[in-house]
Amino acid sequence: MANPHRIDPQLLNKLVHDALVWSSLHGLVVGDKNAERSGVVPGVGMVHAPIALLPNSFPESHFTQACELAPIFNDLVDRVSLDGKFLQDTLERTKKVDVFTSRLLDIHARMLQIGKKEDIRLGLHRSDYMLDEKTNLLLQIELNTISCSFSGLSCLVSDLHRSLLSHYTKPLGLDSQKVPTNTSASKFAEVLAKAWTEYNNPSAVVMVVVQPGERNMYDQHWLTATLKEKHNVTTIRKTLAEIDAQGKMLSDGTLQVDGETIAVIYFRAGYAPTDYPSESEWKARLLMEESSAIKCPSISYHLTGTKKVQQELAKPNVLERFLDNKEDIAKLRACFAGLWSLDDTEAVKNAIEQPDAYVMKPQREGGGNNIYGDDVRESLLRLQKEGSEEEAAYILMQRIFPTEFPTILVRDGICYKEQAISELGIFSAYLRNKETVISSEKCGYLMRTKVSSSNEGGVAAGFAVLDSLYLN
Ligand code: ADP
Ligand code: MG
Ligand code: MG
């Protein structure tokens, strides 16, 4: 692709204008943080989602590779989730120093103790990758098993880019067909509907667990509106506090909230310590877990997505415990970056010497939690000196350096010419009922592009923009 920084200024203005109009008309929007009620009242205080004006190049072979990994990771998550002892053992040391993870493990332990079985298991995942420039390897950043955002909006970005490319084919010299089809919203809605069908109670609803004041609500509304319009499934939205106040479990395990029977619980909250400001939220989480509602995710799926489990799975011979197919194992291993526990003295020594080659990660989700650069060295030295067990809260990961490229970002109606890097996420859905796998498929993609000088990649956190791909 030609350098978009060289686009004629007049054409650039037209493109930005068209992109902003398109986004407004098609619901590619988020709540505007400048509008007080934007996170509470839908339709109030909307702004276009932060976007890359044009799609960015990505090799087709690596895109295909990432797509092929989706069903294999689905299988892996399901298998690992069934091994309660593996999850407890892997996180045992972390538990001692990380209160949040410890609370999640307590719920998990309680479920093991009462012999809770989840016959119907639903996962809506997103596996994120970066393409390492030096090695030309597609390497996994992480696998998200809870509250994967942007399945509602990312398909719209692909539509927007295709629309711009086909309206400006000649001056841009780009082919809209090279932006791959993105079915993230419709696929996630379809699998949620299938899960609802498996629950087999026509009067039951899907409950979306939300954060109070969620500004990324339209991303969620895209899924629930599709559920309603295409599948005739009703949704309710509740915060954890509301679930505690309005929820109860009947003697047969049925979960009722606000008088509605819940077939499927879809978490878009509950992944961060701040989601649990009081005991009330933890009570709600436990109530849901104990119930017979289908959880997306269950506590086991949630824990399977932790960074510590990711690091454990990357150790020699661990994948073999969960998967039989040798080719699948090889494919997964090929996308694993270097991952180490902090009790690996050799790795820690190397990271202190070369902190820029590593990222230090706690057991957190949602962006903005990792440690980079000189802070890696300082943190490691501090932990060494204190000799504390706090080191078990973290893992070390090889830092991946993707190729920088020139791009145009649009945020708040203003366009910025930047040098950027990208992270590709592949959405996938998994649904099974006992021995029958009803669905295990890739569901679309999320491309996030961020200014290359920024360490973190969160869109909601304000570091990155939504993007799509131009295959080459
Ligand atoms: P979270 O669950 O908070 O999203 P991530 O592991 O995805 O945690 O890290 C957040 C961001 O940090 C990523 O989106 C990416 O931009 C950056 N990052 C994470 N791991 C690496 C890595 N190994 N190399 C380079 N950047 C990374
Ligand atoms: Mg994550
Ligand atoms: Mg992430």
| Selected residue with higher pLDDT from 368 and 430 | 430
Mean pLDDT of 46-54: 98
Q: How far apart are CA 284 and CA 289, in angstroms?
A: 9
Scored b (16 or more CB within 10 A) or e, 89-115 reads ebbebbbebbebbebbbebbeebeeee
Residue 58: CB atoms within 10 Å: 23
pLDDT of residue 457: 63
The question of whether 190 is a catalytic residue gets the answer no
The type of residue at 118 is E
Mean pLDDT of 314-329: 98
DSSP 68-114: HHHHHHHHHHHHHHT-HHHHHHHTHHHHHH-HHHHHHHHHHHHHHHT
* Atom of ligand 1 lying closest to residue 368 CA: 3
Provide the pairing of β-strand 260-267 with 205-209.
parallel
The question of whether 326 is a catalytic residue gets the answer no
Q: Which of 141, 371, 403 to mutate to test the pocket of ligand 1 (most atoms within 8 A of CB)?
A: 141
Q: How far apart are CA 104 and CA 95, in angstroms?
A: 9
Q: What is the pLDDT of residues 414-449, one digit of tens each?
A: 999 999 999 999 999 999 999 999 999 999 999 999
Provide the pairing of β-strand 394-398 with 358-362.
antiparallel
| Selected residue with higher pLDDT from 82 and 455 | 82
Q: How far apart are CA 24 and CA 31, in angstroms?
A: 12
Q: How far apart are CA 46 and CA 65, in angstroms?
A: 36
Q: Taking Cα atoms as reference points, which of 43, 47, 19, 51 lies closest to residue 33? A: 47
Would you say 361 is a known binding-site residue?
yes
The type of residue at 138 is L
Would you say 216 is a known binding-site residue?
yes
What is the CA(305)–ligand 2 centre distance, in A? 8
Q: Which domains does the chain have, with CATH numbers?
A: 4-337+400-471 (no CATH), 338-399 (3.30.1490.50)
pLDDT at 460 > cutoff 80: no
- Write the residue with the smallest CA distance to atom 23 of ligand 1: 399
* Polymer length in residues for the chain: 472
Residue 452: CB atoms within 10 Å: 16
Structural contact between residues 217 and 246, judged by C-beta atoms closer than 8 angstroms: no
What is the CA(132)–ligand 1 centre distance, in A? 13
Structural contact between residues 440 and 71, judged by C-beta atoms closer than 8 angstroms: yes
pLDDT of residue 463: 72
Structural contact between residues 299 and 81, judged by C-beta atoms closer than 8 angstroms: no
Q: Is the minimum distance from the CB of 456 to ligand 1 under 6 angstroms?
A: yes
Q: Is the minimum distance from the CB of 142 to ligand 1 under 6 angstroms?
A: yes
Beta-carbon contacts of 187 under 8 Å, excluding residues fewer than 6 positions away, are: 427, 429, 441, 443, 444
pLDDT of residue 2: 86
In Å, what is the CA distance from 116 to each residue of 45, 198, 263, 436?
Answer: 43, 18, 17, 19
pLDDT at 251 > cutoff 80: yes
Mean pLDDT of 388-408: 95
Q: Catalytic residue, from 127, 149, 182, 292: name it.
A: 149
Structural contact between residues 298 and 118, judged by C-beta atoms closer than 8 angstroms: yes
SS3 content of the chain, % helix, strand, coil (to 5): 45, 25, 30
pLDDT at 311 > cutoff 90: yes
Q: What beta strand segments (E) does 225-318 contain? A: 235-238, 247-249, 255-257, 260-267, 294-296
Structural contact between residues 442 and 71, judged by C-beta atoms closer than 8 angstroms: yes
pLDDT of residue 179: 98
> For a pLDDT cut of 70, what percent of the chain falls above it?
99
Please report the ipTM that was assigned to this predicted complex: 0.99
pLDDT of residue 386: 85
The question of whether 365 is a catalytic residue gets the answer yes
| Beta-carbon neighbours within 5 Å of ion ligand 2 | 142, 144, 365
Nearest ligand, measured from the Cα of 364: 1
Q: Which of 142, 145, 274, 304 to mutate to test the pocket of ligand 1 (most atoms within 8 A of CB)?
A: 142
The question of whether 361 is a catalytic residue gets the answer yes
What is the CA(96)–ligand 3 centre distance, in A? 24
Q: What angle (nearest 5°) sits at the alpha carbon of residue 176, between those of residues 136 and 133?
A: 10
Q: How far apart are CA 200 and CA 314, in angstroms?
A: 38
The question of whether 144 is a catalytic residue gets the answer yes
**pLDDT band (50, 70, 90) for residue 462:** low
Q: Which of 101, 125, 359 to mutate to test the pocket of ligand 1 (most atoms within 8 A of CB)?
A: 359
Mean pLDDT of 106-135: 98
What is the CA(460)–ligand 1 centre distance, in A? 14
**pLDDT band (50, 70, 90) for residue 82:** very high
DSSP 234-248: -EEEE-HHHHHHHEE
Would you say 460 is a known binding-site residue?
yes
- Write the residue with the smallest CA distance to atom 12 of ligand 1: 456
Q: Is the minimum distance from the CB of 367 to ligand 1 under 6 angstroms?
A: yes
pLDDT at 215 > cutoff 90: yes
Beta-carbon contacts of 283 under 8 Å, excluding residues fewer than 6 positions away, are: 244
Scored b (16 or more CB within 10 A) or e, 319-330 reads beebbeeeebbe
- Write the residue with the smallest CA distance to atom 10 of ligand 1: 367
Q: How far apart are CA 308 and CA 94, in angstroms?
A: 8
**Mean pLDDT across the chain:** 97
The question of whether 285 is a catalytic residue gets the answer no
Q: What is the pLDDT of residues 266-297, one digit of tens each?
A: 999 999 999 999 999 999 999 999 999 999 99
- Write the residue with the smallest CA distance to atom 9 of ligand 1: 367
Residue 204: CB atoms within 10 Å: 21
Q: How far apart are CA 155 and CA 150, in angstroms?
A: 9
Nearest ligand, measured from the Cα of 310: 1
Mean pLDDT of 41-45: 97
Q: What beta strand segments (E) does 370-435 contain? A: 371-372, 394-398, 405-411, 414-433
Mean pLDDT of 32-49: 97
Q: Is the minimum distance from the CB of 337 to ligand 1 under 6 angstroms?
A: yes
> For a pLDDT cut of 90, what percent of the chain falls above it?
95
What is the CA(457)–ligand 1 centre distance, in A? 7
pLDDT of residue 441: 96
pLDDT at 1 > cutoff 90: no
**pLDDT band (50, 70, 90) for residue 387:** confident
pLDDT of residue 51: 98
Structural contact between residues 124 and 70, judged by C-beta atoms closer than 8 angstroms: no
The question of whether 213 is a catalytic residue gets the answer no
pLDDT of residue 455: 79
Is pTM, for the whole model, over 0.90?
yes
Q: How far apart are CA 440 and CA 430, in angstroms?
A: 4
Q: Is the minimum distance from the CB of 402 to ligand 1 under 6 angstroms?
A: no
In sequence order, which ranges of 315-373 are alpha helices (DSSP H)?
A: 319-322, 326-334, 345-353
In sequence order, which ranges of 291-325 are alpha helices (DSSP H)?
A: 299-304, 307-313, 319-322
